[in-house]
Structures are given as C-alpha cells and as structure tokens.
Structure 1
C-alpha cells in the first residue's frame, strides 16, 4: 500500500533519535516536508546531516512559553506527531513531586501546548489535518516502577480522546498509538535488565519487544488518508500484551 505525503508539511517532536527519528525519516521518504523538533541539538544535527532537506528546531518542551513561541513561528502544518517524552522509572513509594512535574510537563502539557498552536492554524486554514500522539501500553496496564510514566500516558490517552471530539468537526483527526517496549535509548532506562526484560517478553504472545519500524508504519497509516474514518483511537502495538 503506497502512501504519499507529497506537498504536506509535518511537525515531528522528539525527532532526534529513536521512534521520532524513524517517523521523521519515513515521512520524509514519503514526500513530506519535515520539521524535526527536539531538545537535544546534536541529535537533530546528525539527522540533518543524513537528510539535509529536513528542517531542525531545538527547544526544551518543558518551557511552555518558549515552546509556544517557537511553534508559532514555524507556520502552518498539515500534520503533527507528538512523540517527545521522558521516562523516569522509580517505585511508587519513592515517587517525588519533582519527577512527577518533569514527566507531565513533557509527556502531557507539551502535547497540549504544541497541539493547540498547530490545530488552531489548521482550523484557520481549513486544513483537514491529522495528529498522532505516541502513548504507551503503560497507559493501559500497571507496570512495576512506572507509576508516574503510566499516569502521564493515561492522561495523554484522555487528552487524545478530547482532542478527537473537539477537533473532529473541523475535519482534524487525532489518534494515539500505544507501543509495547521498543528498545530505544529511552526504553533502556526501564528494560536494560535481562531478567526484567525476559519477564515482560513472557507476557507478550509474540514473545518479543517491538521494532521502531513497527511503530513508524502504524503512525504513517494513521496520518494518511487511508485511515480517513479513524479518529479518537488508542492503537496497541504490543504483540498481544493487552489481550492477555
């Protein structure tokens, strides 16, 4: 199934590495004009060195006002992928207010912030745009030492549904994908321990963790016209973990 984004302008957050980088590259390959946004400049520069036509922007998404000003300055987009996130894994009894705030500032508030700016311009331009939020299986199932992270992704799912409801009448679709463990640099924070990883894999009917490409393919589909009647879903990409 060939999907083209020729002539479309798409913003991808957290695009410096991991899943976000994979999404940005695949959308670029499909003809999109990509703006890659991340906190870490060096990661963006390595991306641009490989794909010079990808525009890069660095900003700390935890800074509401600066992020808002930067995204406002970028102009109109046809689609948005909210991929940027942080993971702080610690036992429930050790969770601190500082870690809670850090996580929610990036994983939830930044999505609200960026999406408001992008969606308003879609409405103003009468663009039937698409937004995909990168959530997690952790929003649906309790995982040890993931209290704050899981809570942030559950909030993101709820935000996705609210966005789909309110933006749908403007022809803007909003969906989320909920991957299992994808062994990116961020995932290694929680799953580098072989024993812990083996225990998780034993709960996944397919018996393995996911690949970056498997998340990318789902995101590309949800951004495309091939999914034109899909709105407000939270799509597990988990090998059956949530089915058990």
Structure 2
C-alpha cells in the first residue's frame, strides 16, 4: 500500500545514520516535510546533499535544555520519530559504570521524553491528530548479555510509549513503539569491542527466519504507524524480529 505524506510535517531524531536516516528518506520521498535531527554535522550534510528538501537540525539530545530550546522553535508537527540512541560499550551487570548508565539514559530515554513533550504540546495546542513513534528494541523486551543500560533505556521507552498513549489519547494523538532486532546499523558496527561473527551467528540461530534484519525492514512499520492506516493503533509495541521473541526452543 502506498504511503502519502503530502502536506505532513515530521521530525526524525537520530536521522544521520541507520534506521533514522532510512525513515527520513522514505518520508521525504512520500511527500513529507522532514526535519532531520542529528548530533553529527557530517552525516546531516550528506543527507541534505542527497535530499535537499530535508531540513537539518544539529543538536545533542543528551543536553535537555539546549535540545528543548531548539525543539520549541519548530512549527507544529504531524509526527515524531524518536530514533536517536547510543550504544558505545558493553559491560557485565556487575561492572557497568554509573556514568555510562546515565549517559545512555540521557539520550535514549530522557531525550525521547523531551522531544515527545515539546512536540505533543504543540500538537495539542494546534488540535493536530498526530502520531509519535518511538524506535525501541527487542532488547527492551528480552534480556541480552552485557546490554544493561541499553536494555533498561529501551524497556523504559516502551513504558513511555504506553504512558504517553494513555494521556494523549483523548487529544487523538497516537503513540507506538517499533522494536527492531539486531540490525547492522553504523552504531552496531562501530561498537568499541566489536561484534564478532559468533555473536551474529547466535542471533541468526535464535531467529526462526534465519537471518539478520535489514535497515529498510524497520521503515515500513514506522511509516504505517505514522499514517492514517493505523488510525486506531496506539500504546503498542511492534517487534520487527523475524520471530526471535517467539523462539524459546532449545536445539538438541
């Protein structure tokens, strides 16, 4: 089914790379006015060079006040995709430093709350029946070794989805999560300690569909949730995992 976002305005955070970039491009190609937010100027520059109609926004969502000031200057929007997230290192639960936990939560969880608050207030004031999509993770639903801060941030983001859906529903504003499995985005590929082939094979072995997800396979669900096709869908998590979460079998 074709998506038509002509006349719509959507902010995509973390739009410089990976899923966020793919979503921003798809929305732009569907006629949407896209505001693309990233903390990295070079990736924004390359995105706009390829798609000149996209409006770049350079900001670091870990800085609550600075990000909020920039967001408050935006016009009222029809949609928000909270995609910005970081994952830089992996620690066991007993060794994970407090500063690293806070760093992850500042961007992945508090940054998303900050964006949703500002965008939703403008939607309410302008009587816009909008949609907010939070890019969460299967790591927020199931536990994974050495991912404590990331998993906690995504589990928290899923509850943010439910809480905002509850309180924004009366204004006809919908809020949902998309929860991808392992996707070989630049963030995953650049982990400091790397993800070896054995780790990738482990994901494939646990996935009934038998492969790693592609970036573009998370784009369709996001566009669906932003569109009128999902007009009665709110407060829901949408795993994109090839059936991984359904697999509790032990291979013998």
TM-score by length of 2: 0.95
Alignment match of 1:227 (pick from 230, 234, 241): 230
Classify the secondary structure of the residue corresponding to 1:80. Answer: strand
Distance in 2 separating the partners of 1:92 and 1:213: 32
Map of 2:208 onto structure 1:
205
Q: Does 1:179 align with 2:164?
A: no
- Alignment of structure 1 residues 38-53 onto 2, 5 Å: 38-53=38-53
1:191–1:197 Cα contact (<8 Å) kept:
no
Structure 1 runs of 4+ with >6 Å offset: none
Deviations 1:47-70 (A, max 9, x none): 000001100011111100000000
Distance in 2 separating the partners of 1:187 and 1:224: 29
1:14–1:85 Cα contact (<8 Å) kept:
yes
Distance in 2 separating the partners of 1:40 and 1:30: 25
Map of 1:120 onto structure 2:
121
1:201–1:208 Cα contact (<8 Å) kept:
yes
Distance in 2 separating the partners of 1:58 and 1:229: 33
Give 1:197 shift: 1.0
What is the alpha-carbon root mean square deviation over aligned residues? Answer: 0.9
Which 5+ residue runs of structure 1 have no aligned equivalent? Answer: none
Map of 1:24 onto structure 2:
24
Map of 1:34 onto structure 2:
34
TM-score by length of 1: 0.98
Which 5+ residue runs of structure 2 have no aligned equivalent? Answer: 248-252
Give 1:191 shift: 6.3
Map of 2:151 onto structure 1:
150
Give 1:168 shift: 0.6
Distance in 2 separating the partners of 1:161 and 1:89: 28
Give 1:199 shift: 1.1
